[in-house]
Amino acid sequence: MENKHKKDGIAVKILKSGIVSWIFIITVWGLASLNYDEYFLPSPQETASSISTLVENGRLQTDILASLSRVLRGWLLAVLAGVPLGLVVGSFKAVRWLVEPILSFFRFVPAIALTTLFLMWFGVGDESKIALIIYASFFPIFVNTIAGVASTDESLIEAASCMGAKKIKVFFTVMVPSAVANVFTGIRLGLGSSIICIIAAEMLVGSNGLGYLINSSKLYYKTGWAFAGIVSLAVIGFLADRLLLAVGRHALKHFGVK
């Protein structure tokens, strides 16, 4: 019986690790690539070779660092703006009623639709790309923060008030802790949005970055480069989300972050 439980435990751990999913994806990809040449669908081996070549000449590292730098700057600025504003708006019903129509309008306008305007306003440098990232990341963070504060149990607020706590104390001791899990979810979603946004922005206008690498591959008929950029992007996004989730689970487990 113990051996059975141990085997079940190992099987569950393997499934949770994602190894089975990765093996499945790579197998299907490899089998599909047998029907096409490397210019249409490079195999996993050909993609690995392209990654090795790009690493050797230093281009992949340069492009990854360029994209990561823009993502981190834009995402952190969105967090610094979205969380405090969301906490304030979520705390006051009247303010929330005023903001919600505007929010509903702008959050459905994709960042990529504003690329031309941002290029005219901020130029072709990093400023326009970072502004797009802030725009794309801000709304998931802002909306989830508002939802977290607004969903605070009214009985907890009333209990704290009855015990003589002032509104500011109720805000920091009851409402903010109740919103932490939602805020963290918004921050994770914002990170995903920022990665998607920077690739689109770099593909449209840029001289470096993973988006530029993917887009420029067509000029040299190097489909393997495009796949190298896509694989690098997927790995970076996956690792960034896992790292953020691990930090959240460790630092914020008392607030219900799982």
Quick one: tokens of 11? 């099987």
Where do the domains of the chain lie?
Answer: 52-255
Report whether 147 contacts 181 (CB < 8 A). Answer: no
CA proximity to 132, closest of 86, 73, 213: 73
Average pLDDT over residues 178-183: 92
Quick one: tokens of 203? 């593909």
Please tell me the distance from the alpha carbon of residue 33 to that of residue 217, in angstroms, as a whole number: 18
CATH of domain 52-255: 1.10.3720.10
Quick one: tokens of 239? 């690792």
DSSP letters of 209-241? SHHHHHHHGGGTT-HHHHHHHHHHHHHHHHHHH
pLDDT digits over 104-129, tens only? Answer: 888 788 888 888 888 889 887 889 89
Please tell me the distance from the alpha carbon of residue 62 to that of residue 75, in angstroms, as a whole number: 20
**pTM score of the predicted model:** 0.85
Report, in angstroms and rounded to the nearest whole number, the Rg of the chain calculated over CA atoms: 23
pLDDT digits over 39-63, tens only? Answer: 889 999 999 999 999 999 999 999 9
